[in-house]
Chain A
Amino acid sequence: MAQESTGIVVSSGVPIRGSMPTGAIWQHLGRFARRKPLGAFGAAIALLLIVVAVFAPFIATHDPAETNPALIYAPPGSQLLLGGDQLGRDVFSRLVYGARVSLYAGLLSAFIGASMGMVMGVASVHFGGKTDLIVQRIIDTMMAFPPLILAIVIMAALGASLNNVVIALSAAYIPSAARVLRSQALAVKEMDYILAARAIGASHARIIFRCMIPNCLALYIVLVSVFLGTAIVAEATLSFLGIGVPPDVPSWGGMLNGAAQTYVHLAPWLGVFPGLAIAIVVLAWNFLGDALRDVLDPRLRGTW
């Protein structure tokens, strides 16, 4: 039976996708939570972040941009949950809206960076020969720059805006993703059904997208979750330095901007909360990424 399935071919020709009944999803999740409690904790926090980011207008107590001269440097108390910043804005609401910015920047950069890296790595392996060498040199050149410096330079050229931050960070992650996924693709290339697909004359696009990429998905998911953590820190760093999002956009890094010099004397608590938020979120994504990696491919344990 020469059944064309979705690329995951089993010897009898019967496609195996879509064979899982929906009720079993919860069983699998429960097992995951029990076997990897840290990963479940990470997932819970990640979910909390997403909920806070999406429902920000309902959770925030004040308008994050509303300045109130009477509440400048107000200590945490009954009026403003976590105090007021240097312009009298509510720190709690800015934290909540900042979650949106962090999530947007982190998620998009991680996805775009990993995806483009994957396509580059897989395509370069598939075409082989000179193309492979050229692409490898390009990737090596990109990897020569420390990622933060590359991001700073791109931001300098493009100007301050959230979308530019996404562009800059994605560019920083593409080379590492390409490297890692290239080695995975090298292993996949030798598999029998890839050879079979070429023998029957499948087009390049078909082979890449339907045969090689599904096998790299496990690694891809792990990469995205790892990149997400670092992307959130990277966005915060850029905003902290002042070359990330514009100053009026609430961002956890931006909130820490004056912390080392101005706030220390006037309002020490202002430097604590945004940093704490960043640390918790990054920790959560790290745990989640570790747990996913252990579940999906234990061989990768200890690589980074």
Chain B
Amino acid sequence: MLKLDFGESMFFEEPVAKDLADKFPITLELTVLSMLIATVIAVPLGLISAIKQDTPTDYIARIISITGVALPNFWVGILIVYFLVLLFAWMPPLGYADLWDDPLTNLQQFIFPALALGFFEMAFTARVTRSSMLEVYREDYTRTARGKGLAERVVIVRHALKNALLPVVTVSGYQFGRLLAGTVVIENIFMVPGMGKLLVDSVFHRDYTEVQAIVMLVTVSVLILNLLLDVIYGWLNPRIRYS
């Protein structure tokens, strides 16, 4: 296996690598999309929640994020499916349009699984952003900036924001691992032909070569991403640059 020769799948009697090459981009796209959704919604939500602490906006945002981390992701997926099927008579598509061939259909198909997958991460990131922003807001340098007479908005954007976002970057590393694990469930619910579904099917068929290969691929991706994130974090945070 170290030679990158994964051998043949016991069930399909095809080289495993071919299977993975087909399915991995789909799962990757789902994961990236979920992370995007989670971050794009969560970060502003957390920031606003921190700036307007203890107002009704804050309470609503906090309730959303607290429930978000408690709901099991497959239940969120199931509820979304219920919602879609009962209200819009939607069916899980049978084939998946490739991103390069047909971007519009592709996005349409991926948005709901990505929402289901990203919900937990959105709640979690919002919580982290909020507490981190709260900390930074009370720091001396923020108060100095405000004392200098800068407009509140400038204070937030130029001074507080960058520092508040640092823990979010760290957290994103763990996010990726959790998201990849979450795809196993979400792909099952939404019938997405990606690696997660392949993993579960392979386990059912006792197809150990496939399982081995998938797990290796997943782990390596997580490790590479964490490495990248560590480097990015080091670049962003001058305080640990020379350690």
Residues of A within 8 A of B (CB): 144-149, 152-153, 155-156, 229, 233, 236-237, 240-243, 253, 256, 259-260, 264-265, 268, 271, 275, 278-279, 282-283, 286, 302
**Given A146-B180, A264-B82, A279-B70, A156:B185 Cβ within 8 A:** no
Query: Contact at B82–A282, with CB atoms within 8 Å?
Result: no
Q: A156-B211, A256-B78, A279-B75 are in contact. List 16 more A-B contacts (CB 8 A).
A: A144-B219, A144-B222, A146-B177, A149-B199, A149-B219, A241-B185, A259-B78, A264-B81, A265-B85, A268-B86, A271-B78, A275-B75, A282-B72, A283-B70, A286-B69, A286-B70
**Given A233-B72, A236-B72, A259-B78, A146:B178 Cβ within 8 A:** yes
Contacts of A264 in B (CB 8 A): 81-82, 85-86
Query: Contact at B184–A153, with CB atoms within 8 Å?
Result: no
Supply 5 A–B pairs (Cβ within 8 Å), ascending by A.
Answer: A146-B180, A156-B208, A237-B74, A279-B75, A283-B67
Contacting residue for B184 out of A149, A233, A256, CB 8 A: A149
Contacts of B211 in A (CB 8 A): 153, 156
Q: How far is the CA of A156 from the CA of B210 in the complex (A)?
A: 12
Query: Contact at B218–A146, with CB atoms within 8 Å?
Result: yes
Query: Contact at B78–A260, with CB atoms within 8 Å?
Result: yes
Contacts of A148 in B (CB 8 A): 178, 181-182, 184
B60 within 8 A of A: no
Q: How far is the CB of B22 from chain A (nearest CB, A)?
A: 20
Query: Contact at A237–B72, with CB atoms within 8 Å?
Result: yes
Closest chain B residue to A278, Cβ basis: B72
Contacts of B180 in A (CB 8 A): 146, 149
Query: Contact at A275–B219, with CB atoms within 8 Å?
Result: no
Contacts of A233 in B (CB 8 A): 72
Query: Contact at A145–B185, with CB atoms within 8 Å?
Result: no
Q: How far is the CB of B129 from chain A (nearest CB, A)?
A: 12
Query: Contact at A240–B86, with CB atoms within 8 Å?
Result: no
Contacts of B185 in A (CB 8 A): 237, 240-241
Contacts of B135 in A (CB 8 A): 302
Query: Contact at A145–B200, with CB atoms within 8 Å?
Result: no
Contacts of B242 in A (CB 8 A): none
Contacts of A242 in B (CB 8 A): 200, 204
**Given A146-B177, A268-B82, A152:B184 Cβ within 8 A:** yes
**Given A256-B78, A283-B67, A149:B85 Cβ within 8 A:** no
Query: Contact at A243–B200, with CB atoms within 8 Å?
Result: yes
Closest chain B residue to A280, Cβ basis: B70
Contact with A along B49-71 (1 / 0, CB 8 A): 00000000000000000110111
Contacts of A241 in B (CB 8 A): 184-185, 188, 200
Q: How far is the CA of A259 from the CA of B81 in the complex (A)?
A: 9
Q: How far is the CB of B210 from chain A (nearest CB, A)?
A: 11
Cβ < 8 Å to A, chain B residues 71-124:
71-75, 77-79, 81-82, 85-86
Q: How far is the CA of A259 from the CA of B190 in the complex (A)?
A: 12
Q: How far is the CB of B198 from chain A (nearest CB, A)?
A: 12
B142 within 8 A of A: no
Contacting residue for A302 out of B77, B131, B204, B223, CB 8 A: B131
Q: How far is the CA of A147 from the CA of B208 in the complex (A)?
A: 19
Contacts of A282 in B (CB 8 A): 70-72
Contacts of B73 in A (CB 8 A): 237
Q: How far is the CA of A198 from the CA of B69 in the complex (A)?
A: 44
Q: How far is the CB of A258 from chain B (nearest CB, A)?
A: 10
Q: How far is the CA of A293 from the CA of B114 in the complex (A)?
A: 33
B189 within 8 A of A: yes
Contacts of A146 in B (CB 8 A): 177-178, 180-181, 218-219, 222
Query: Contact at A145–B203, with CB atoms within 8 Å?
Result: no
B40 within 8 A of A: no
Closest chain A residue to B120, Cβ basis: A233
